[in-house]
A = this chain, B = another copy of it.
Amino acid sequence: MKEISTRDAIVEAAISLFNQKGYHGTSIRDIAGLAKVNTANISYYFNGKQGLLEYCYMKFFESYLELLEQVFLQSCSPTEKLKKLVDCIITYQCKNPQLTRFILREVTIDSQVVREIMSTYYVKERYIFTQIFEKGIERKEFRKQSISYSIIQLKGLLSMPFIHSFYVTEVLHVFVNEDYFKRKYLEEIHRWIHDVVCLNEKELSIIP
């Protein structure tokens, strides 16, 4: 069996601890301790703690956006595409709950790196969302709506159970890591898409 590499051990430990205690609340000693490697390796491999954080950002956003783009390029109706996108994101986040939570939290703090992420990854993400919404409205599948405000809602729905996983578990007793959650929650978002984003029959019938 291949032993886990020092590098990977560090990343794994870092994600776990950044998730639990936040970036600033975690020391590289904690990380090295959990990963059972020497502290100096963190500087060696990632050029310091900051570098390790940036690596985590990259790890998350590179895959995340690749996923988005892949779905975006598929040819299907806007409604279908939006649903697929949502499935995809929830699936990705369910697979990486710790990384997701910590990134969603950390992205909340203003810093040079975060600004760069905003202006690259998040702008791309917005582009994709916007395109879908615009096409949907144009094709009369979607209700006329402020796309920005719809994105706010969508992102709220998509991130809530992950960033506040602690609340969801402790207070609502809903377990995000169970498969049941994923299916059920996707249904809920699909309903939101159908009832809030799309034109429903009632409204349709009003239009002459």
Answer whether residue A55 sits at the interface, using C-beta atoms and an 8 A cutoff: no
Asked whether A172 lies within 8 Å of B151 as measured between CB atoms, the reply is yes
Answer whether residue A109 sits at the interface, using C-beta atoms and an 8 A cutoff: yes
Asked whether A22 lies within 8 Å of B24 as measured between CB atoms, the reply is yes
Answer whether residue A2 sits at the interface, using C-beta atoms and an 8 A cutoff: no
Asked whether B164 lies within 8 Å of A108 as measured between CB atoms, the reply is yes
Answer whether residue A188 sits at the interface, using C-beta atoms and an 8 A cutoff: yes
User: Closest Cβ of chain B: how far from A129's Cβ, in Å?
Assistant: 10
Binds B, one of A71-79, A88-96, A196-204: A196-204
Answer whether residue A160 sits at the interface, using C-beta atoms and an 8 A cutoff: yes
User: Closest Cβ of chain B: how far from A207's Cβ, in Å?
Assistant: 16
Asked whether A167 lies within 8 Å of B118 as measured between CB atoms, the reply is yes
User: Closest Cβ of chain B: how far from A140's Cβ, in Å?
Assistant: 18
**Can you list, as one digit per residue, whether each of A168-208 has a CB less than 8 Å from chain B (1) or not (0)?**
10111110000000001100100110011000111000000
Asked whether B24 lies within 8 Å of A170 as measured between CB atoms, the reply is no
User: Closest Cβ of chain B: how far from A100's Cβ, in Å?
Assistant: 12
With A152-B161, A192-B192 already in contact, the answer to whether A146 and B24 are too (CB < 8 A) is no
Interface extent on A, as a size class? 35 or more
Bound-state CA distance A114–B21 (Å) is: 12
Nearest residue (CB) in B for A145 is B188
Asked whether B174 lies within 8 Å of A152 as measured between CB atoms, the reply is yes
Asked whether B166 lies within 8 Å of A108 as measured between CB atoms, the reply is yes
With A22-B22, A110-B20, A160-B160 already in contact, the answer to whether A168 and B152 are too (CB < 8 A) is yes
Bound-state CA distance A157–B172 (Å) is: 17
Taking CB atoms, residues of chain B closer than 8 Å to A114 are 166
A–B complex contacts, Cβ < 8 Å, 21 sampled: A20-B109, A21-B109, A22-B22, A22-B23, A22-B24, A24-B24, A107-B164, A107-B166, A108-B166, A118-B170, A122-B167, A148-B174, A149-B188, A150-B188, A152-B161, A152-B174, A152-B185, A155-B167, A156-B158, A195-B195, A195-B196
